[in-house]
Amino acid sequence: MASPDSATLREPVVLPPMPGEHEARAAYPPIGLERSRVTGGRLVFDRDEGFDRALAQGFFLVRIPEGTDPAAGDRFAAHFHEERAGGDPLDAYRGYRHVRVPGDYQGYFDREHDQWENFYVERDNWDVLPSEVARVGRGMAGLGVTILRGVLEHLRLPREHWARVTGGLTEDRGHQMLAFNHFRSHKGVRGSKFHRDSGWVTVLRSVDPGLLALVDGRLWAVDPEPGHFIVNFGSSLEVLTERLDRPVRANVHGVVSTERAPGQPDRTSYVTFLDSDLTGTVYRFENGTPRPLQSVAEFAGQEVGRTYDDSGAL
């Protein structure tokens, strides 16, 4: 439960109940996302105004870099929740409901109020994954770090503060988490609650429509594009920049209730979350200086608690 005195607590957001995918398809058009790529280690947008628009929307597309093949992650997301069959080649991707992963917020989660079931694993524990899945995670995490550096450079934040305010992420340290999602269409509840990600940068692999985001006071569909990851910004980056001339938006988003005919595959996805270590501090830039606001542990508890509860509030 967040303290009412929390320096990072945003104003309440009023949202409709999460619709089913057929209702959402009719009601919410897809938003036009800015496109980008990484060239020479730098984040480059296809349009001159693309970077600033992406910061304001909170979402954009980035081309999947050469050498990062998402297929192994796709297989893992489709099968991690299943029981092993015994000798089946896909068994390397199954049985993860029972795998114990050390550390906070890691391992298998059965979300009571959502279709979501997840497997979360931080970089230090990626050896529990098939090696080709861990390789995808390293590629996505490296891409996320490049994006974070690009944002801070674009905003002209002094480089000497980067490592401190990001908990070392700009130096490829910090908290780098892979999260695999399976949406159980047989479960007649929301796909996932509307929420904000709590960290810095989220790199999403999805091939199915169904993600909705609140942008400029209106709900839009955020649809995947072949050959691209979807990127969105988290609350740590929003808090850091909220008093700058060009603040970064961590927009509210969630997943519609998956509706499938018998025999059709469920929706799956996976992401890499870049976050500060729980022992770190949340900062806000004021007058050119980062001001400490709250511990990351308190901030994470505040944000995560509202992500998975059964209330209609955020």
Interacting residues of 282 by C-beta distance below 8 A, sequence separation 6+: 8, 236, 239, 240, 276, 292, 293, 294, 295, 296, 299
Helix (H) or strand (E) holding 121: strand 116-122
43 Cβ contact list (under 8 Å, min separation 6): 36, 37, 51, 62, 146, 147, 149, 150, 151
Cite the annotated binding site for 2-oxoglutarate by residue number. Answer: 181, 267, 269
Q: Mark the binding-site residues, compressed into ranges.
A: 181, 195, 197, 253, 267, 269
Q: How far apart are CA 70 and CA 106, in angstroms?
A: 22
Closest CA to 144 of 202, 196, 224, 58: 202
Radius of gyration of the chain (CA): 19
Burial tier of 295 (Cβ tally within 10 Å: 0-12, 13-18, 19+): middle
Token digits of residue 182: 């399976």
In this structure, is the dihedral angle defined by the CA atoms of residues 230, 43, 236 and 106, taken in order, positive or negative? Answer: positive
- As annotated, the binding site for Fe(2+) includes 195, 197, 253
Q: Which two tokens stand for residue 157?
A: 């934040």
Maximum CA extent, the chain: 61
53 Cα distance to chain centroid: 19
Compute CA 200 distance to the chain's CA centroid, rounded to the nearest angstrom: 9
